[in-house]
């Protein structure tokens, strides 16, 4: 249903229902929330990687053939599909192969970064069935691709391939077939290697400031920066001493 595996600095959460294109039913949503909470409590896990079993689908969204199984999720603060209404305290990456549609797209949008294979397909396919976006899609999609492109996808329900998704900024990188998880783990190790105090504070400032007035955003940035200033001062001293010259470590 859902597996949790530590790989280096990453926690890999895999939706494992390939016979249903990794669609999420109620028990799977519960398991996703439990996996997220496990990641949050694991101090050694610095990055969460979310993926789907196999290559055919990342996640096809809610399992409409098991819609009654979501009854216990009503009012759950995690959201219908597990954790989409929660805020991760640490970076998250979606490793996408195949179909990433409906609620599956909303799970991918919840992540900070998205890596996709050439076979990936993205879309709000729930449009054709009259199912609303209730896992954050209407709020996160325009923040990532802009209002115009978001309206295109939400209103038409059309699917876009990996290259169009890359062009609109929906994904950050397209890789060869089967390399999505490998590449996501490479990115996770890179993020984990940076000084964590400032990486996390900059992430908090960016996410909390998104959509606010500039003055409010600058105040958030100043607050977060002041809290980790000593870390930055130490890093600047190491650079001044010769460490990292010529882009080493970039």
pLDDT in tens, 86-127: 999 999 999 999 999 999 999 999 999 999 999 999 999 999
In the CATH scheme, what architecture does the domain 2-193 have?
Answer: Alpha-Beta Complex (3.90)
Q: What is the pLDDT of residue 238?
A: 58
pTM: 0.92
Tell whether the torsion through CA atoms of 104, 126, 211 and 174 is positive or negative. positive
Could you tell me which of 202, 210, 88, 53 has the C-alpha nearest to residue 140?
A: 210
Q: How far apart are the first and last CA of the chain?
A: 38
Instruction: Please say if the pLDDT value at position 234 is more than 70.
Output: no
Instruction: Identify the helix (H) or strand (E) that includes residue 57.
Output: strand 57-59
Q: How confident is the model at residue 239 (pLDDT cuts 50, 70, 90)?
A: low
- Active-site residue numbers? 106, 126
- DSSP result, 10-50: EEEEEE--GGGTT-B-HHHHHHHHHHHHHHHH-TT--EEEE
Given a contact cutoff of 8 angstroms between Cβ atoms, the answer to whether 48 and 5 are in contact is no
């Amino acid at each position: 249903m859902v597996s949790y595996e530590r790989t280096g600095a990453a926690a890999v959460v895999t939706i494992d229902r390939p016979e249903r294109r990794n669609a999420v039913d109620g028990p799977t949503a519960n398991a996703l929330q439990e996996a997220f909470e496990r990641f949050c409590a694991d101090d050694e896990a610095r990055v969460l990687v979310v993926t789907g079993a196999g290559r055919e689908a990342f996640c096809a969204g809610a399992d409409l053939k098991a819609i009654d199984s979501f009854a216990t999720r009503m009012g759950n603060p995690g959201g219908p599909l597990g954790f989409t209404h929660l805020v991760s305290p640490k970076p998250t990456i979606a490793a996408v192969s195949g179909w990433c549609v409906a609620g599956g797209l909303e799970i991918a949008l919840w992540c900070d970064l998205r890596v996709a294979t050439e076979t990936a397909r993205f879309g709000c396919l729930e449009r054709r069935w009259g199912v609303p976006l209730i896992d954050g899609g209407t709020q996160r999609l325009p923040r990532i691709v802009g209002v115009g492109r978001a309206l295109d996808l939400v209103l038409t329900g059309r699917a876009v391939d990996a290259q169009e998704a890359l062009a609109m900024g929906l994904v950050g990188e397209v890789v060869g077939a089967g390399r999505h998880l490998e590449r996501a783990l490479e990115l996770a190790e890179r993020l984990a290697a940076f000084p964590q105090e400032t990486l996390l504070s900059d992430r908090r400032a960016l996410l909390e400031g998104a959509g606010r007035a500039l003055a409010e955003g600058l105040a958030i940035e100043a607050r977060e920066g002041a809290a980790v200033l000593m870390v930055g001062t130490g890093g600047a001293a190491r650079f001044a001493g010769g460490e990292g010259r010529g882009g080493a470590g970039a």
